[in-house]
Amino acid sequence: MAKSQTELRPLGKSVGRKEDPRFIRGMGRYIDDIVLPGMLYMSLVRSPYAHARIKHVDPSAALEAPGVKLVITGEDLAAMDLAWMPTMAGDKQMVLATGKVLYQYQEVAAVIAESREQAEDAAQLVDVEYEPLPAVVDPIQSLDPDAPVLREDREKKSNHIFHWEAGDKEATEELFRNAPVVVKQNVRFPRVHPSPLEPCGCVADYQSSTGKLTWYVTSQAPHAHRTVLSMVSGLPEHQIRVISPDVGGGFGNKVPVYPGYVCAIVASLKLGRPVKWIESRTENISSTGFARDYHMTAEIAAEEDGRVLALRVKTIADHGAFDAAADPSKFPAGLFSIVTGSYDFKESFVEVDGAYTNKAPGGIAYRCSFRVTEAAYLIERVMDVLARRVGVDPAELRKRDFIRKEQFPYQSPTGWTYDSGDYEKTLDLALEKIGYEELRKEQAEKRARGELMGIGISTFTEVVGAGPSHTFDIMGIKMFDSAQIRLHPTGKVLARLGVRHQGQGHETTFAQIIAEELGLSTEDVLIEEGDTDTAPYGLGTYASRSTPTAGGAAALCGRRIRDKAKKIASHLLEAGEDDVVWDGVSFSAKGLPDKSVTMKDIAFAAYTNVPEGMEPGLEATYYYDPPNLTFPHGAYIAVVDIDKGTGAVKVRRFLAVDDCGNVINPMIVDGQVHGGLTEGFAIAFMQDIPFDEDGNCLAPNWMDYLVPTALDTPHWETDRTVTPSPHHPIGAKGVGESPNVGSPAAFVNAVVDALAPLGVEHIDMPIFPWKVWEVLREHGVNK
């Protein structure tokens, strides 16, 4: 049950959310709720082929259809030098296809009409003639020297995008040469999609009288979008206002700029009227940023008792037709080199090669800090393979190999400096709480009866909060974030941040941070995000970065206010500044606790009674460049039962013990964990976007790309340990993504554990019932 918003010292309390009253009334204002006078609607024409030459595009019939105002083709955009746009990964992407299409559902033309229906009707009338070409679907075949070159625009005449590596190759090889035990496992992380409940969309509103473009867009990173838009379009940046209204979920899907956005803006510029484009679910899944699709091979070199020595990883990354990965610019494979995880490897060498295929572009970070999910899944999966090989219980093996708490700050072999952690404590709590020993006993009894029960552990480490500007940037823009706090004369606060929440509860948690710093209550603080004309610049909300970056900015900005407040307090209390003390809710003079002034008194004085020579007012802005990333960790345990008849897996229990450092709002943290576990569960058991050999997308909507309901979803149990981040201003680390990063391995490890007596070492996600049944059949269980 939520606590009151009027409590003082709210940090760490389950304060009820400030954003909820509008949402529970159906009064949220999402992108499709925005209606402007004279607004037109846009619909896109998409390619039915995965790979085809475009012979011609004839818009004439569409132009004659009722209500149609404009049809834009790739050639039209080419004439404006807008047929291509840059991607965040340093590649470029077609806005509307010219020459050829490279994936099914690729954008070919845009139709703008007076109504949605008219736009959609007319889109059917755009005549496009295609000459189909053979499709390249498999990324491994795509890297074959004989494979047809998909990207004719590139100088490099192959489908190879990049090679990236981390760690010391020679030192790693050396350890492998002499290792008593080596295990190797191929692991695929399927192609999945964030699928927020609200699809993408925008309203572009260009006013020719003022030259100003207001662009409403469901965006996780409005400031970055403004800058990119200015760079691409040539519009002056101060003449672009990006407003990200209430966002109906993002999970990484709303970080990139999509072709439909550019078309809507071009249409508004051309027509001088607002243009709305709202994509359908099918368009969302089939064309916007997918995630993962990593084909990984991991090898661990270890001692005979399971103590790890070295890790070697090779990966082929399928990016689709354009590398539209949402990674920091210097990291084409994101932070994948965190793959040594929670374990004290002496050396590691990690390689990733990117490949083009005839699929939608992407490689975005779906509820994940840039490829950390792939890394965590891989190492947690392969540690279990090692445990099985050396005959050590997977919990015990992990304890043997954990980085110990006294090793922090820990330097990883691929170059990361882990800030803090106590892995053993977290795992011990999880083992005790779930009753690990009893479960193993129960499992032994069941095995004796031929029943299949499994217990899976994942003790992952994340790396979040990009990040320090010396390392992280997106297209050159450093990945700091910001907060601006204004105290009004009555002591009420308006605070704006450079991030943009999508359900994470910033209107509450950031109000808690600021209220805590200022001695106020959550109710006193109004948080605003998402309007680039008012909020300070920031890189947005994804990669669990809001609390590590903007949360830090909010705390330090509050302290900056408090520094000035202390001076005013000294004036009001008629005491020397050095004698003024802050007790968390008020200032008083040393030794005179009865006489005190609160922040409300000070705010009033800041506008009515400032000391002579002091600038009036009480506001501050803080741009926080974190000194390091944060490294949340957790111990997750899944318990599953397998139906031998159908292969169906039932998750009987799932316990997540997270350590995200200091907690701002436990209720919200638990909610984040519940949500992330559900997405991890879906990835483990039901999600993939398959293609046929012609490149046709076989799961382009929610009939076949499966999202779990309340009936599918297990009941989640949560707990936590607290190891504060030593460098974060309030010791917090970020939590939104841990459950999605850490849970897939726990589920898969549990299923493999259940099947282990048969000699099974691995099963790829998604674990549909038929896959388990095939394994059982192979091993003669279900004849």
Partner 1 sequence: MKIQLRINGRTKESDVEPRKLLAYYLREDLGLTGTHIGCDTTNCGACTVLLDGKAVKSCTVLAVQADGCDVMTVEGLEGEDGLHPLQTAFWEEHGLQCGYCTPGVLMSGYALLQSNPQPSEAEIRSGISGNVCRCTGYVNIVKAIRSASAKLAGAADDTPSESAKEVAASGKKSD
Partner 2 sequence: MFPNSFEYMAPTTLAEAVELMQRHEYDAKVLSGGQSLLPMMKLRMAAPPILIDINSIDELRGWKEESGFLRIGALTRHSELENAVELRDRYPLLAETAVWIADPLVRNRGTIGGSLAHADPASDWGAAMLALHARVEGIGSGGERQIPMDDFFVDTFTTALEETEIATAVLVPKPAGRTAGRYLKIERKAGDFAIAGLAIHVVLASDGTVAEAGFGICACGPVPLRGKRAEEYLLGKKLTPETIDDVSRMVPEDADPEDDLRGSAAYKRDVLRVFAERGLSDIAKELQGEGVVG
Quote the least distance from Cβ 197 to partner 1, whole Å: 5
Integer Cα distance of 484 and 488 in angstroms: 13
For partner 2, give the closer residue by CB, 24 or 698.
698
Using rule CB under 8 A, residue 704 touches partner 2: yes
Count of residues that interact with partner 2, criterion CB under 8 A: 29
Q: Looking at 55, 449, 470, 715, which residue binds partner 1 (CB under 8 A)?
A: 715
Integer Cα distance of 508 and 515 in angstroms: 10
Quote the least distance from Cβ 699 to partner 1, whole Å: 12
Using rule CB under 8 A, residue 668 touches partner 1: yes
Integer Cα distance of 180 and 133 in angstroms: 50
Structure tokens at 175: 């350890």
Q: Looking at 574, 711, 759, 783, which residue binds partner 1 (CB under 8 A)?
A: 711
Chain CA centroid to CA 433, Å: 29
CB-based contacts of 653: which residues, under 8 Å, 6+ apart? Answer: 434, 637, 638, 639, 714, 717
Residue 129 binds which entry of partner 1, partner 2, none, CB below 5-8 Å type-dependent: none
Q: In what order do the strands lie in the sheet with 493-497?
A: 525-529, 493-497, 481-487, 619-624
CA distances from 661 to 658, 677, 722 (A): 9, 19, 5
Using rule CB under 8 A, residue 734 touches partner 1: no
Phi, psi at residue 584, to the nearest 5°? 105, -30
Known catalytic membership, residue 173: no
Q: Which amino acid is at 714?
A: P
Integer Cα distance of 594 and 184 in angstroms: 69
Using rule CB under 8 A, residue 710 touches partner 1: yes
Please answer whether residues 187 and 382 qualify as being in contact, where contact means their C-beta atoms are separated by less than 8 angstroms.
yes
DSSP result, 371-385: SHHHHHHHHHHHHHH
H/E stretch holding 93 reads strand 92-94
- Range 484-543, binding partner 2 (CB under 8 A): none
Q: Looking at 19, 120, 173, 393, which residue binds partner 2 (CB under 8 A)?
A: 120
Quote the least distance from Cβ 320 to partner 2, whole Å: 20
Exactly one of 367, 371, 388, 545 is catalytic; name it: 367
Please answer whether residues 558 and 618 qualify as being in contact, where contact means their C-beta atoms are separated by less than 8 angstroms.
no
Quote the least distance from Cβ 651 to partner 2, whole Å: 13
Name the one range near partner 2 by CB under 8 A: 331-339, 478-486, 666-674, 702-710: 702-710
Quote the least distance from Cβ 629 to partner 1, whole Å: 25
Using rule CB under 8 A, residue 248 touches partner 1: yes
CB-based contacts of 593: which residues, under 8 Å, 6+ apart? Answer: none
Residue 168 binds which entry of partner 2, partner 1, none, CB below 5-8 Å type-dependent: none
Integer Cα distance of 150 and 152 in angstroms: 6
For partner 2, give the closer residue by CB, 26 or 613.
26
Q: Looking at 3, 9, 92, 116, which residue binds partner 2 (CB under 8 A)?
A: 116
Using rule CB under 8 A, residue 380 touches partner 1: no
- Range 673-692, binding partner 2 (CB under 8 A): 686, 690
Using rule CB under 8 A, residue 448 touches partner 1: no
Q: Looking at 13, 17, 51, 496, which residue binds partner 1 (CB under 8 A)?
A: 17
Name the one range near partner 1 by CB under 8 A: 44-52, 410-418, 428-436, 706-714: 706-714
H/E stretch holding 109 reads strand 107-113
In the stretch 634-653, what mask flags binding to partner 2 with x, by CB under 8 A? -----------xxxx-----
H/E stretch holding 212 reads strand 212-217
Cis ω before 259 (30° cut-off from 0): no
Please answer whether residues 260 and 278 qualify as being in contact, where contact means their C-beta atoms are separated by less than 8 angstroms.
no
Count of residues that interact with partner 1, criterion CB under 8 A: 63
3-state helix, strand, coil in the chain (%, to 5): 30, 25, 40
Name the one range near partner 2 by CB under 8 A: 17-25, 94-102, 633-641, 698-706: 698-706
Residue 677 binds which entry of partner 2, partner 1, none, CB below 5-8 Å type-dependent: partner 1
Integer Cα distance of 615 and 27 in angstroms: 40
Using only the alpha carbons of the chain, give its radius of gyration. Answer: 27
Closest C-alpha among 480, 471, 478 to residue 330: 471
Crossing angle of helices 423-434 and 436-448, in 10° steps, is: 50
Quote the least distance from Cβ 188 to partner 2, whole Å: 17
Phi, psi at residue 593, to the nearest 5°? -65, -20
Using rule CB under 8 A, residue 246 touches partner 1: yes
Q: Is 574 exposed, middle or buried (0-12, 13-18, 19+ CB in 10 A)?
A: exposed
Name the one range near partner 1 by CB under 8 A: 141-149, 293-301, 463-471, 709-717: 709-717
For partner 2, give the closer residue by CB, 167 or 190.
190
Q: Looking at 185, 230, 239, 282, which residue binds partner 2 (CB under 8 A)?
A: 282
Exactly one of 5, 118, 220, 672 is catalytic; name it: 220
Known catalytic membership, residue 367: yes
Q: Looking at 222, 256, 394, 505, which residue binds partner 1 (CB under 8 A)?
A: 505
Integer Cα distance of 749 and 166 in angstroms: 27
* Residue that the structure tokens 């979040």 belong to: 464
DSSP 32: G
For partner 2, give the closer residue by CB, 537 or 768.
768
End-to-end alpha carbon distance in the chain: 51
Q: Looking at 56, 650, 770, 779, which residue binds partner 2 (CB under 8 A)?
A: 770
Known catalytic membership, residue 737: yes
Using rule CB under 8 A, residue 707 touches partner 1: yes
Integer Cα distance of 450 and 220 in angstroms: 50
Known catalytic membership, residue 368: yes
Residue 646 binds which entry of partner 1, partner 2, none, CB below 5-8 Å type-dependent: partner 2
- Range 536-595, binding partner 1 (CB under 8 A): none
For partner 2, give the closer residue by CB, 686 or 722.
686
User: Where do contacts with partner 1 occur on this chain (CB under 8 A)?
Assistant: 1-6, 16-17, 19-30, 32-33, 35, 116-117, 195-199, 246-249, 251, 280-282, 502-505, 667-668, 670-671, 673-679, 701-703, 707, 709-711, 713, 715-716
Catalytic residue ranges: 220, 367-368, 737
User: Where do contacts with partner 2 occur on this chain (CB under 8 A)?
Assistant: 116-117, 120-121, 124, 280, 282, 645-648, 686, 690, 698-699, 704, 706-709, 711-712, 768-770, 773-774, 777, 782
